[in-house]
Structure 1
Amino acid sequence: MRKLVESEITNRNSINGVGSSLQHESAIKHVTGRAQYIDDLPQSNQLLHVATGKSSQAHAKITAINLDAVRKAPGVVDVIVQADIPGHVDVGPVYGGDPLLAGDTVVFVGQPIFAVAATSFEAAQRAVRLANIDYQPLPPILTIDDALNAESFVLPPHQHLQGDPDAAIDAAPHQIEGEIYVRGQEHFYLEGQISQAWPNEDGGIHVISSTQHPTEIQKLVAEVLALPLHQVVAEVRRMGGGFGGKESQAAPLACMAALFASRQQRPVRYRMPRQDDMIQTGKRHDFKNRWRAGFNDDGRLLGVDMLLAGKCGCSPDLSEGIVDRAMFHASNAYSFNSARVVGVRCKTNTVSNTAFRGFGGPKGMMAAETLMDDVARALGKDPLDVRLINLYQPGQDITPYGQQVSQHVLPDLMRKLADDADYRSRRQSITEFNQQSPFVKKGLALTPVQFGISFTAKHLNQAGALLHIYTDGTMLISHGGTEMGQGLYTKIQQIVATAFDVPVSMVKVSSTRTDKVPNTSPTAASSGTDLNGMAALDACNQIKKRLAQFAAGHFNIADYELQYHKGSISAGDQQMSFAEFIQLAYMNRISLAASGFYRTPKIHYDKKTGQGQPFFYYANGAAVAEVCIDVLTGEYKVERVDILHDVGKSLNPAIDIGQIEGGFVQGMGWLTTEELLWDDQGQILSNSPANYKIPTAFDVPYQFNVALYPQDNKVDTIHLSKAVGEPPLMLGIAVWAALRDAISSTTDYRFSPRLDTPATPERVYWALQQCADYQHQQEAS
């Protein structure tokens, strides 16, 4: 362990700026257990713990509630219901519908009805079980089909329209229809939802929260307590994973902790046990996707009519943007030429679903990739050839929402990956293997990802940063982004260190606090580095401009003659260390602090017309997956994966590759093993690690090759890099497509079976039965 620490010091004291594979700033802390999370904070004897009493009904009126036994339980200090909330009751992030505590009606199993503050976590958990609550059940809506039939929506439908798709489909030489049900996903962050709040001497509140959106925490806590915003400070040092699940879902915990802290004038911690977390917080949306398409003999799409129906749960939460994002990515990397894409937001009596890595993008892409396979099977072509011919490229580069794809990265990237991974020769050998092997079949697929980068809510595309340079030359940078393990803090360090060409060890990133950088956007939409990195660079450039003007006057040189080099500066014939120069500037009363700001240019979208340019650029990638399946049981194994991913000019190749590997495995889990299930009463069945299977080390393919596509971004991003947070998740679609390819091989690739997700061994087996039925029908005819 000593060698690791010495290595860390050596590594971070060298010049490891942008482009270096610098280790994560908390890597040593993570592996040694020294990284401090909220539940690691010291507990004073004044600390109270929170638990909530939950609804047992999916939809019901509360006819009576008796909390006497709860109040008398050992350790209980305070009990509250909705009427005890002094300010706003609703903590919905955009639209209403998310009361902190239920009122007269409950709308999903697990909805909080009352809350308890007790002297220990265990006492609070025991106390909430003592409540007596009577209900009058109401008819629930539990599925997408139920919602479609009842026209139950949290928000109105939305549409993208390009050309005349009905005429194009009808006139096409070939038509096809299809449907796929794509289930959601539990975030399963290592650190569950948690917040801690302290009252301060002037009536305000300080909240530390495991959240991706500190400003929203500040706003909602202030509203719940009926306080002005400047009375609330929200702080985040790190999260043990977020994946979108802490963008809006962290707010109720922070508000509840703050409410009890205000009432009792004591510190309060609210940590959800894993099972409560899985019952009470939203997940990735289920989607039911339907389409009708027309195409020519080459497999080129001529028109597509598509419906994307998202299971939003009991309230809007972030579903407007999530279903919009599914619509934006319903074509993935392909030109539909003429298209209608309709998104509907289904309201059900289940927990309100929320953001997940990729937002709605993965659900839309599944429709496009299913369609590509179906077209290929209908024509007897290799699915890769159908994908290549339909890619956005010069002459067919307008999306259904009207944005022109200006960087045509994927045609070259996919062909390069196919060559590097020996796709063609492997395709031939796998086909030959499948012809000779009756019980084990192999599958191969190469699928692309084209993911738009920017928040589709335009106002969120902004960021601020605050840079301090101290008189010893060390720097402290605050910004609005949050660190959830993705390496944002590390990249910000590298950006600031590179600006002054000093060792990264001279730059420290402070915890994210709303009293340092205000009005922040969530760390989401893969925009954390794009936005906050540019804001940090702006702060650097402001100080550098001041220093250049000072040097010009002090040393009698032109301002451009001030140069930074490996921890030193040169000003004409004068040379000194960076620290000496900063001390000199301070003695001459030069300001060594700056507030930086950035807003993404060139983006716009008209919600009324469904047209615009919502994305600053696209990140791209492709994956080749090879699988083998047992046709008697449906069991399978992922044998090899090759990935080539476009991150522009990488800020940190090691962190980027780590993000790609992790994103791919998480996407593979979503599509293969992670199954969210509810019973017919609206109770979630997959409510613990015992009945919800995330990928393990044994699921990672033995051959797992990842490379970065060597091309700088063509638009002016931070050091010409591209976002890498979300796009790699959708590379996991290659595994699902490879499974479907192996199943289709049982019909000599003539039939494309329906394979809903997750593609568990059971669903693979059922798809194999579809193929057997197809074979029997062909033989009978």
Structure 2
Amino acid sequence: MPAETMRPEAELQIVRKPLPHDSAPRHVTGTAAYIDDIREPSGTLHLAPGYAPIASGRIVSVDLSAVRAAPDVVTVLTAEDIPGANDISPKQIGDDPALATDTVRFHGQVVFAVVAKTRDAARRAAKKARFVTEAAPPVIDVAEATEKVLADYAFVQGDPDAALATAPVSFEDEFRIGGQEHFYLEGQISLAIPGEAGEILVHASTQHPSEVQHVVAHALHVPSSAVTVEIRRMGGGFGGKESQATQWAVLAALAAVKTGQPCKFRLDRDDDMIMTGKRHDFRVRYRVGHDENGLLQGVDVALDARCGHSEDLSMGVVDRTMFHSDNSYFYPNCRVLTRRFRTNTCSNTAYRGFGGPQGMVFAERMMDQVAYRLGKDPLEIRKANFYGGRGRDRTPYGQQVTDNLLHELVAELEADCSYWERRAEIAAWNASSRILKRGLALTPIKFGISFTLMPLNQAGALVHLYRDGSVHLNHGGTEMGQGLFLKVAQVVAEEFGVDMGKVAITATRTDKVPNTSPTAASSGTDLNAMAALAACNEIKDRLYAFIEQKWRVRRDKVNFRDNRVFFDNQSISLAELANAAYVERISLSSAAHYRTPVISWNRDKAEGRPFYYFAYGASCSEVTIDTMTGEMRVDRVDVLHDVGKSLNPAIDIGQIEGGFVQGMGWLTTEELVWDKQGRLRTHAPSTYKIPTASDVPEHFIVKLFQSDGAREKTIYRSKAVGEPPLMLPISVWCAIANAVASVRPGVVPQLDAPATPEAILKAVRRALSGDA
């Protein structure tokens, strides 16, 4: 039987059910154990970070005598204490030290770590360090940066310069797209416990246990087999724990090795926000050429990314910005150029969408501008430029769009939300309202699913069938609240035909499933569920062979369901079958592997098929702005989203709702501010505004697009849902621009992201003055 064989649709009993999150009762009762809830072993010590008071320059000297003499301090770690590589960068790039030495590259860069008997004692002691420094002017804004973390990179299709030169209508513009703090509820934390023979167990809040394992091993100068990383659940990750959990794990492990005692490192919220990376922010400059009807002929866009002090994941993140700079639109001739600048700020990193949202914001801004310049409705221009049939189905990177749902999905939402009726009603309302203005926008998304770094498109799983018919499940994915563990468990329960209660969901551990990929790129279920399916099929293959030998029944006459196995007009419990197989010395365990088929990407040549398939969606948002204050309210949101044939509709809708609100925060209220000294000023909830329940509109309707499922062979024909929904609230940002446009018809609104009250007020004033 092929490893990816799935049960027929008509026989499904567990998959497709809207089952609640496996940890939901524990979440609401406070019994779900996170790392800080693990009972601390006797003698556990605590760490706190220390850093220099500058953002750029040189450390002349540092006096740690008062730190070491502080009450309850056990030791102080510096770079000299690291026996192996002083590097926490992904793939050991070598540009991001765990502890800085003589050079400071951003305000908050850790220079030493205090190890004390209590967390409070460690934090108080860290403040006693005395630095002598030579400060240099920090480079904060990407417009001032000159040093790059990577070489410039571009996609080019056709002849964009000629297309722009001959287009009937052309224009050029620029704007800014802001970054975003992850603001996970559980901050960065690691607990390291030394073993008896030099091995170490690290409980790390990480999306990438294998990377933490390898980086810790390199820092300690021990084999990876000596380091085990475990994570049962995270209190949110959103990409912020893909690469940036390693530093705290390394320092906790280093302290544990040096002291011989368990050591915990939990960052304070302010330190977490100051020291860890954000979503990349961009300066975007572009030229556009189109015909009299708004059909694009040439696009030339340059995206300048602020990467921070080190490379981190900027290659993949900014590449993903390029991959999604087209969003849903066909560019006959285009140049998509990216430049990745080094700045004296924290190193920007993965964030839900992994750069894709920034590319899509550009595409939607461009669609709006074409429409406003031509005096047309933006939805007309969007639909006219959608990917279509032959000749209009190639992306800027050359992949053919073969699973296009844009036209039918957008048409369905357009009718369902009464777009044109509301457009007319809003126009009439705005004409009679001098101060309050309303806006409406319907925007699509087309998001590619797969890691564009090809080796990451693989997963492993470990499944045990016990003699009592219960099942143990382990895989390389990590649970951060998104329901991954439940979805994979549903697949396993479906394959063995058992109740969900029979499947034990266990913590991710690097000594159970090795060499795993990060839980990122929306691929968690696609990869890990397929690996678990393969493991189930391997065990079932042995059981089918056993049944055929013992009862002379072919496998096509055997059915696993209702905790029993049916064949030859009889049935036995799964427990009876497992026990009988055990007696005959048949293995009831399998470690299986899955790799995504057909994909390929050669970055140097910019060619291949980087995505297994595309996920689609659309949203329509209505807002009201106050032109006197810049304040804004979201009045209504309608979403129609493509998840193929859902494994769990309740989980998927929850992901769409959460992703929408998080993306809405990025585009409207969440603003990162550094001062001229390079200090992050928005490093706490008091100065950084994430959306709250009161920001969610009363009318917030999310529906799943009904289709025949993914055209590719995905797990039960479902599609990924983690990242694509974050781009749906671009409709909110475009609706705000639409409201600004109504202030003075004929003027193109100039609105940066996020659309804070200050940004809205600035755009309104520019529109009123005609300077837009």
With normalisation by structure 1, the TM-score equals 0.96
Unaligned runs of 5+ in 1: 1-14
State how far apart, in whole Å, the 2-side matches of 1:588 and 1:55 are. Answer: 66
Q: Does 1:635 align with 2:621?
A: no
Query: How many residue pairs get matched?
Result: 758
Structure 1 residue matching 2:675: 3-state secondary structure? coil
Aligned-pair distance for 1:584?
Answer: 1.6
Structure 1 residue identity aligned to 2:685: P
Query: Which position in structure 2 is the counterpart of 1:146?
Result: 144
Structure 2 residue identity aligned to 1:127: A
Deviations 1:250-276 (A, max 9, x none): 000000000000111100000000000
Query: Which position in structure 1 is the counterpart of 2:9?
Result: none
Q: Does 1:131 align with 2:129?
A: yes
Query: Which position in structure 2 is the counterpart of 1:581?
Result: 577
Query: Which position in structure 2 is the counterpart of 1:506?
Result: 502
Q: Does 1:323 align with 2:318?
A: yes
Is the deviation greater in 736-745 or in 601-610?
601-610
Deviations 1:137-195 (A, max 9, x none): 12322110111xx3x10010111010000101111110011212011000000000000
Deviations 1:375-397 (A, max 9, x none): 00011111001000111111311
Q: Give 1:181-192 correspondences, 5 Å limit.
A: 181-192=176-187
Of residues 752, 762, 769, the one that matches 1:766 is: 762
Is the deviation greater in 355-364 or in 53-62?
53-62
Of residues 304, 313, 316, the one that matches 2:308 is: 313
Q: Does 1:332 align with 2:327?
A: yes
Q: Does 1:626 align with 2:625?
A: no
Deviations 1:427-448 (A, max 9, x none): 0111111111111111000001
State how far apart, in whole Å, the 2-side matches of 1:559 and 1:454 are. Answer: 34
Aligned-pair distance for 1:16?
Answer: 5.8
Query: Which position in structure 2 is the counterpart of 1:12?
Result: none
| Paired residues of 1:144 and 1:348 also in contact (CA < 8 A) | yes
Query: Which position in structure 2 is the counterpart of 1:536?
Result: 532
Aligned-pair distance for 1:609?
Answer: 2.1
| Paired residues of 2:203 and 2:229 also in contact (CA < 8 A) | yes
Query: Which position in structure 2 is the counterpart of 1:215?
Result: 210
Q: Give 1:611-622 correspondences, 5 Å limit.
A: 611-622=607-618
Structure 1 residue matching 2:16: 3-state secondary structure? coil
Structure 1 residue matching 2:634: 3-state secondary structure? strand
Deviations 1:589-647 (A, max 9, x none): 21100011100111111212222211100111000000011111111110000000000
Aligned-pair distance for 1:673?
Answer: 0.4
State how far apart, in whole Å, the 2-side matches of 1:483 and 1:557 are. Answer: 40
Unaligned runs of 5+ in 2: 1-11
| Paired residues of 1:16 and 1:503 also in contact (CA < 8 A) | no
Q: Does 1:358 align with 2:353?
A: yes
Aligned-pair distance for 1:356?
Answer: 0.3
Aligned-pair distance for 1:225?
Answer: 0.4
Q: Give 1:640-719 correspondences, 5 Å limit.
A: 640-711=636-707, 712-719=709-716
Structure 2 residue identity aligned to 1:637: R
Query: Which position in structure 1 is the counterpart of 2:594?
Result: 598
Q: Give 1:76-115 correspondences, 5 Å limit.
A: 76-94=73-91, 95-115=93-113
Structure 2 residue matching 1:346: 3-state secondary structure? strand
State how far apart, in whole Å, the 2-side matches of 1:680 and 1:298 are. Answer: 46
Of residues 360, 381, 387, the one that matches 2:382 is: 387
Structure 1 residue identity aligned to 2:640: L
State how far apart, in whole Å, the 1-side matches of 2:128 and 2:261 are. Answer: 25
Deviations 1:705-733 (A, max 9, x none): 00000111111000000000000000010
Structure 2 residue matching 1:609: 3-state secondary structure? coil
State how far apart, in whole Å, the 1-side matches of 2:201 and 2:42 are. Answer: 18
State how far apart, in whole Å, the 2-side matches of 1:642 and 1:310 are. Answer: 32
State how far apart, in whole Å, the 2-side matches of 1:584 and 1:521 are. Answer: 37
Structure 1 residue identity aligned to 2:726: L
| Paired residues of 1:55 and 1:108 also in contact (CA < 8 A) | no
Structure 1 residue matching 2:215: 3-state secondary structure? helix
Structure 2 residue identity aligned to 1:491: K
| Paired residues of 2:137 and 2:677 also in contact (CA < 8 A) | no
State how far apart, in whole Å, the 2-side matches of 1:228 and 1:564 are. Answer: 43
Structure 2 residue matching 1:216: 3-state secondary structure? helix
Deviations 1:180-224 (A, max 9, x none): 201100000000000000000111110000000000010011000
Structure 1 residue identity aligned to 2:325: A
Structure 1 residue matching 2:88: 3-state secondary structure? coil
Q: Give 1:224-263 correspondences, 5 Å limit.
A: 224-263=219-258
Is the deviation greater in 404-413 or in 35-44?
35-44
Structure 1 residue matching 2:581: 3-state secondary structure? helix
State how far apart, in whole Å, the 1-side matches of 2:416 and 2:662 are. Answer: 24
Is the deviation greater in 629-638 or in 730-739?
629-638
State how far apart, in whole Å, the 1-side matches of 2:700 and 2:17 are. Answer: 23
| Paired residues of 1:548 and 1:560 also in contact (CA < 8 A) | no
State how far apart, in whole Å, the 1-side matches of 2:528 and 2:41 are. Answer: 35
Aligned-pair distance for 1:43?
Answer: 2.5
| Paired residues of 1:443 and 1:628 also in contact (CA < 8 A) | yes
Structure 1 residue identity aligned to 2:213: Q
Structure 1 residue identity aligned to 2:46: H
Query: Which position in structure 1 is the counterpart of 2:404?
Result: 408
Q: Does 1:298 align with 2:293?
A: yes
Structure 2 residue identity aligned to 1:247: E
State how far apart, in whole Å, the 2-side matches of 1:603 and 1:44 are. Answer: 46
State how far apart, in whole Å, the 1-side matches of 2:219 and 2:330 are. Answer: 47
Aligned-pair distance for 1:96?
Answer: 2.0
With normalisation by structure 2, the TM-score equals 0.97
Is the deviation greater in 598-607 or in 410-419?
598-607
| Paired residues of 1:50 and 1:121 also in contact (CA < 8 A) | yes
Query: Which position in structure 2 is the counterpart of 1:11?
Result: none
State how far apart, in whole Å, the 1-side matches of 2:618 and 2:174 are. Answer: 24
RMSD over aligned Cα atoms: 1.0
Deviations 1:447-466 (A, max 9, x none): 01111000010000000000
| Paired residues of 2:192 and 2:262 also in contact (CA < 8 A) | yes
State how far apart, in whole Å, the 1-side matches of 2:65 and 2:628 are. Answer: 58
Deviations 1:285-333 (A, max 9, x none): 1111111010011111111001011100000000000110000000111
Structure 1 residue matching 2:729: 3-state secondary structure? helix
Structure 2 residue matching 1:734: 3-state secondary structure? helix
Q: Give 1:175-186 correspondences, 5 Å limit.
A: 175-186=170-181
| Paired residues of 1:184 and 1:283 also in contact (CA < 8 A) | yes
Kindly report structure 1 stretches of 4+ aligned residues shifted beyond 2 Å: none
Of residues 157, 164, 177, the one that matches 2:152 is: 157
Query: Which position in structure 2 is the counterpart of 1:57?
Result: 54
State how far apart, in whole Å, the 2-side matches of 1:585 and 1:737 are. Answer: 61
Query: Which position in structure 2 is the counterpart of 1:10?
Result: none
Structure 2 residue matching 1:428: 3-state secondary structure? helix
Aligned-pair distance for 1:44?
Answer: 3.7
State how far apart, in whole Å, the 2-side matches of 1:112 and 1:164 are. Answer: 48
Is the deviation greater in 46-55 or in 559-568?
559-568
Deviations 1:533-591 (A, max 9, x none): 10000001111111111000100122222211222111213311222221222122211
Structure 2 residue matching 1:746: 3-state secondary structure? coil
State how far apart, in whole Å, the 2-side matches of 1:597 and 1:487 are. Answer: 21
| Paired residues of 2:527 and 2:595 also in contact (CA < 8 A) | yes
State how far apart, in whole Å, the 2-side matches of 1:209 and 1:609 are. Answer: 37
| Paired residues of 2:46 and 2:117 also in contact (CA < 8 A) | yes
